[in-house]
Amino acid sequence: MLSDTSFPIIKATLPVVGEHIQEIAQRFYEHMFEARPDLLDGLFNRGNQADGRQQQALAGSIAAFAGFLVDKPDQLPDHLLSRVAHKHVSLGLSPDQYQVVHD
């Protein structure tokens, strides 16, 4: 759920983020693998990284999540969060592997 402060910011920046989402996703993965190269070994499919499918999946998830929050700011996108959570659990992600995302 978005706060009254966050809603106008997300709504105003969504078009700009949408225009640059591929670059944002690419930079995200570059930063993540630079900081944690161990995550590329066995956790992420190198083929999906090389051809951009992983970046495309992240970009699509971000766009869907942000769009949902703008369209329904009083609700949580549980169906989107559940899908991501199931994928992460199936990969065996551990809490320490999320720190690089925060950083």
Q: If 0-12 CB within 10 Å is exposed, 13-18 middle and 19+ buried, where does residue 93 land?
A: middle
pLDDT at 40: 85
pLDDT at 42: 76
Annotate 4-38 with DSSP letters as a single string: TTHHHHHHHHHHHHHHTHHHHHHHHHHHHHHH-GG
Q: Which domains are assigned to the chain?
A: 6-102 (1.10.490.10)
Question: Mean pLDDT, 10 residues at a time, over the chain (103 residues)?
Answer: 88 92 92 91 85 90 89 88 92 90 87
pLDDT at 35: 94
DSSP type of residue 41: T
Selection from 27, 25, 23 nearest residue 62 by Cα: 25
pLDDT at 1: 75
pLDDT at 2: 81
pLDDT at 75: 87
